[in-house]
Amino acid sequence: MLQKIPSLNQLVHELSRLPGVGPKTAARLAYHILRSPDDFVQALREALKGVKEKIHECPECFSFTEEQDVCHFCKDMMRAQDSICVVEDPADIERIESSGVFRGRYHVLHGAISPLDGISPQDLKIQALLDRLSPGPEGEIRVTEVILALDADLEGDTTVLYLAKILKDMNIKTSRIAHGVPIGGDIDYIDYRTLGRAIENRVQV
């Protein structure tokens, strides 16, 4: 039947381009949308328009923002100016903020170095990060500490190694977030690589 309703096919096609949405899920969503009231569909269309028209990258940290100029993190003078947390994606900032532990600035790389996917340091916001880390016009040190909060995968590790080397030469205190057993995690169920890292990075009590 689907092939006889072109509009429905079209919506299934568009929805199935979303991540994690296969043809069956897309068809289920499309039928749901078809049965939904007009105002829901209108609200969804407006929301889609809104994110594309109103949101832009912060020129300072490259996170997403709806503010006129820089984002509210870069604008917030109550946050530490000399500490930058480097993340892969804007969504990561939200997770870190919810921990409530970090109160400095952020910098979004928009990805990680991945030779296999053809992503080199030039494709990421690495030069912009180095510009932020370099001394000010009168030679004053602006940033003293960088925390690398990148994913614990091959690409994240590669990016950490790449940045650590450069930052060491710049004399900036650099750390990466710890890997280990998750809080509430049962050691029985932790993979051996995580457990190995947790033992290596043991903390004195």
Q: Which residues bind its own copies (CB under 8 A)?
A: 1-2, 4-8, 10-11, 13-15, 17-21, 25, 27-34, 38, 40-41, 43-55, 63-66, 71-73, 89-91, 93-94, 97
Measured CA to CA, the distance from residue 38 to residue 202 in angstroms comes to 57
Least Å from the CB of residue 93 to its own copies: 5
Which among 7, 3, 84 has a CA at the least distance from the CA of 41? Answer: 7
Residue closer to its own copies (CB basis): 6 or 184? 6
Contacts of 89 by beta carbon, 8 Å cutoff, 6+ apart: 108, 110, 111
Least Å from the CB of residue 118 to its own copies: 18
Least Å from the CB of residue 14 to its own copies: 4
Least Å from the CB of residue 96 to its own copies: 9
Strands 64-65 and 105-108: unpaired
Measured CA to CA, the distance from residue 198 to residue 187 in angstroms comes to 11
Least Å from the CB of residue 132 to its own copies: 19
Measured CA to CA, the distance from residue 111 to residue 193 in angstroms comes to 24
Return the bridge partners of 106, or none.
85
Residue closer to its own copies (CB basis): 105 or 172? 105
Residue closer to its own copies (CB basis): 47 or 205? 47
Residue closer to its own copies (CB basis): 3 or 171? 3
Question: Integer distance in angstroms from the first to the last C-alpha of the chain?
Answer: 66
On whether the CB atoms of residues 87 and 97 are closer than 8 A, the answer is no
Residue closer to its own copies (CB basis): 77 or 187? 77
